[in-house]
Structure 1
Amino acid sequence: MIRLPPLPTIQEIIRIYGLSARKKLSQNFLLDLNLTRKIIKTAGNLKDCCVVEVGPGPGGLTRSILNTEVEKLIVIEKDGRFVPSLEILSDASHGRMKIIQGDILGFDMSDVVPPEYTCQWQDNTPNIHVIGNLPFSVSTPLIIRWLNSISTQSNLWSRGRAAMTLTFQKEVAERIIAPPRSEYRCRLSVMCQYLCNVSLKFSIPGKAFVPPPKVDVGVVKFVPRREPLIRQSFALVERMNRHLFHHPNKFCFKSLGTLFPPDREDLIWTMVELSGVDAQIRPFELTNEQVGQLCNAYATIIGQEPDILTYEFRSQKSAKERRQKVTKVLALEQRLLSSSFPNENIDSEKDQR
């Protein structure tokens, strides 16, 4: 087993290179190597694996990864200030580590993972793992983007059902794993769970990070499913969940109504009938399977009336609000004019006489 030689501590690296966490990038360093080892242990056996680490920063998690039997480590870091400190680890890694400077939001990880790690989707998970202490500001949009890739088996997931071990704000982590009827149940819960088996492994107190965030952090593991629980396109499932959870605590009938024009209430009842889902259940009570039934019913309706897909509740609502605002402004202007020239009509009548 290859281990790293003695190196300066992370604290020393930060001091040597004058590194600091940037608030605008939502950076929080995890310097406690006991915790970084625990995260890596949670990821599972990394022997002979290719690991992609997202946002390594000064390299706390990176060290713990390199102290396993990982075969190849690719780190992707947006902030160029950390490259010199990561190069120290790369030089000590016996050729196992590669540094890429780039923005993970627009990065195709399949370009850097060698093809020999590829497995068929129906096989066991490949020896590929994504690990990251994600900045809070990008964690949710990033996981949605990756879920989309999982649904189409693209990006890194063209190599197979690669697992992920990632950090999130504790509340976001609770939302990701929330079962039906949970107070945390939301759109993100369904989007993650219909494509992946998800589990909250453990929590880390905010004070363990530098600088300490005001919230605790949850470590979540994702393993893509062989078969998604909902067999519709990612865009349709996302649209359905966005509308369902627009009114999470009201009956589904009201949420489903936002999918259709106001004069097409008949389609809501058609959807309820096709799906077999009770219209008086609340969205946060729905199981993933029930959401799938609603998606199937919606897809059937769209197949019969394609124009329905272009209807946007929010744009209609915005147009109505704009009209109401214009009406109020015009009414206010009329009142102001009337109060400014109270005798105008009287003077006009006198002139006519």
Structure 2
Amino acid sequence: MRSAPQLSLPGWRPLRPVRNSGAAGVLLRAPLSAGEAGREKVRASAAAEHSRPGPARLSSVRCVRRQHSPPRPVPALGLPRRADDKIVKQAGELKNAHVCEVGPGPGGITRSILSAGVEQLILIEKDARFIPGLQMLSEAAPGKVRIVHGDILTYKMEKTFPKHLKKNWEDEPPDIHIIGNLPFSVSTPLIIKWLENVSKRDGPFIYGRTQMTLTFQKEVGERLTANPGSNQRSRLSIMAQHLCTVENCFVIPGQAFVPKPEVDVAVVHFTPLVQPKIQQPFELVEKVVQSVFQFRRKYCFRGIETLFPENGRLKRTEQLMMTADVDPTLRPFQLSMSQFRNLCNAYRKMCDEDPSLFVFNYREELRQKKMTGNVLGSTDQPEQTEEENQL
């Protein structure tokens, strides 16, 4: 008897004729090897286990990514499980706590937060591609997770948590935490926004001294915690440290992320202070600090000059430096927190005497001068000033 023709298709096992008492030449698949039979048995057992009724389990991040994989590389960064757990651990005790996670992405940190036994978890995610995967995690933890599809920069957090969690500012921090693996593009404007909320005790800080554990580009994390004299000392250093205790917890190498960024990532923990180190309005402190760091490599008086109109600028700058008792030849990154406090207090006194000072905008003055020069014509236009070149 002739043998049946062999089929040669990609991914198919070769077939061979097997004698059977019922019919001759019936085609059957070749018997599985011992190893293949074992793997089939494991797969069948796993399928039976998943079909068995029982409590909902959290889907793995790999499973979520596989089922809801975005069509192109995503901006949010994913981390291995150990790094997720380490970030959540830095937030402190989360048992029965209320947590807001910013930018959960595929949900790696989300799983670690839920594993810590939180009472409530608010997820704020802007990218719609991640929402289906987060809904899977929400279904696995019924009653604990609320997903907000929106932008954290515009989201109002005043009514996010129950009112009974509120504490007086002088008390211990409330059982509320903000945790976020932030996209680099929003991390700096977001922390400035939250620092302003700390100063005014509104937003997420209407409940008290809410703690934050956030990720930043490594260089930004170094600026947030830089001491006087450090090359990383900047506006961000002063604005953060005068309002919060800032701790650079640890650094995660860039290669630990998916997709891999070109820089390392710092995990920073913030706890608002009971009393700010500079007791002036946020807008005033920010204006003085921005002006001082306007020319960070020059003497600090060069930046202080930009607080005043051209008419009387030198005289008022000298008056401010003398009142604040600050050496005008120090560089901006050399100034201590107490020296910035003296500068802010002296400037506030001058603004009280002349309210027009606070609304003065140096950049607007330069713009007006440039427009005036253009009106006069290119032949009569004054030479560009040093200030304009530097700005």
Q: Give runs of aligned pairs for residues 157-306 of structure 1, distance below 5 A.
A: 157-264=205-312, 265-306=314-355
Contact 1:74 1:99 in 2 (8 A): yes
Match status 1:42 vs 2:90: yes
Distance in 1, matches of 2:266 and 2:115, equals 23
1-structure distance, mates of 2:196, 2:325: 27
**2:59/2:136 contact within 8 Å kept:** no
Amino acid at match of 1:278: D
Secondary structure at 2:267's aligned position in 1?
Answer: strand
- Aligned-residue offset at 1:318: 2.4
Distance 1:119 1:220 in 2: 24
The alpha-carbon deviation at position 94 of structure 1 amounts to 3.7
* Structure with more contact order per residue of length (Cα contacts < 8 Å, sep ≥ 6): 1
Please name the residue that 1:82 is paired with: 130
Q: 2:70 aligns with which of 7, 10, 19?
A: 19
Asked if residue 156 in structure 1 is aligned to residue 204 in structure 2, the reply is yes
For residues 377 and 61 of structure 2, what CA distance do their matches in structure 1 show?
60
Residues in 2 aligned to 1:121 and 1:327: alpha-carbon distance in whole angstroms: 57
The 1-side partners of 2:213 and 2:72 are apart by 22
1:104 & 1:225 partners in 2: Cα distance?
23
CA shift for structure 1 position 207:
1.3
Higher helix proportion, which one? 1
Q: Which runs of 5+ in 1 are unaligned?
A: 333-353
One-letter code of the match for 1:29? L
- After the TM superposition, which residues 303-342 of structure 1 pair with which residues of structure 2 at under 5 Å, given as runs? 303-324=352-373, 329-330=378-379
* Contact kept in structure 2, 1:28 and 1:212, CA below 8 Å: no
Greater radius of gyration (CA) = 2
Return the alpha-carbon distance in structure 1 between the equivalents of residues 72 and 295 of structure 2. 38
Q: CA deviation at 1:110?
A: 2.3
What is the distance in 2 between the residues matched to 1:309 and 1:250?
23
Classify 1:286/1:21 alpha carbon distance in 2 versus 1 (closer, same or farther; 3 Å): farther
Identify if the C-alpha distance between structure 1 residues 78 and 122 changes in structure 2 by more than 3 Å, giving closer, same or farther: same
- Cα distance, 1:313 vs. partner? 1.1
Candidates 122, 134, 137, aligned match of 2:182: 134
Aligned pairs (5 A) from 1:106-121: 106-121=154-169
Q: Report the TM-score, using the length of structure 1 for normalisation.
A: 0.88
- The Cα shift of 1:274 comes to 1.5
User: What do the CA deviations read for 1:8-45 (whole angstroms, capped 9, x no partner)?
Assistant: 3212211211226656xxx2322300000000011111
**1:133-156 C-alpha deviation (Å, 9 max, x unpaired):** 001111101111111111010011
Other structure's SS at 1:139 match: helix
Q: Deviations over 1:185-221 (max 9, x none)?
A: 1101100111000010001111111211111110000
Task: State how far apart, in whole Å, the 2-side matches of 1:331 and 1:261 are.
Answer: 24
Q: Give the aligned residue type for 1:302.
A: C
Distance 1:213 1:42 in 2: 22
Q: d(CA) in 2 for partners of 1:121 and 1:331?
A: 59
Determine the structure 2 residue equivalent to 1:123: 171
Residues 326 and 214 from structure 1, CA distance in 2 versus in 1: closer, same or farther, beyond 3 angstroms?
farther
Instruction: Give yes or no for contact 2:100–2:122 (8 Å, CA) kept in 1.
Output: yes
- Local SS of the residue matching 2:295: coil
Contact kept? 1:51, 1:70, Cα under 8 Å: yes
Residue 9 (structure 1) aligned with residue 9 (structure 2): no
Please report the RMSD computed on the Cα atoms of aligned residues, expressed in angstroms. Answer: 1.8
What is the CA–CA distance in structure 2 between the aligned matches of 1:191 and 1:22, rounded to whole Å?
Answer: 34
Q: Secondary structure at the match of 2:298?
A: coil
For the residue of structure 2 that corresponds to 1:106, the secondary structure is coil
> How far 1:77 moved relative to its partner?
1.0
Deviation larger for 111-120 or 193-202: 111-120
Quote the Cα distance in structure 1 between the aligned partners of 2:176 and 2:59: 29
Whole-Å separation in 2 of the counterparts to 1:125 and 1:270: 41
Deviation for aligned residue 1:249: 1.9
CA distance in 1, matches of 2:299, 2:377: 32
Letter in structure 1 aligned against 2:327: D
Give the distance between the partners of 2:59 and 2:117, measured in 1 at CA: 21
> Which amino acid is 1:123 matched to?
D
- Structure 1's consecutive aligned runs of 4 or more residues displaced over 2 angstroms after TM superposition are 4-9, 18-23, 318-332
* In structure 2, distance between residues paired with 1:200 and 1:305: 41
- Measured in 2, the distance between the counterparts of 1:21 and 1:217 equals 23
> What's the offset of the Cα at 1:283?
1.1
Residue segments in structure 2 that go unaligned for 5+ positions in a row:
1-54, 382-391
Q: Greater CA deviation, 260-269 or 313-322?
A: 313-322
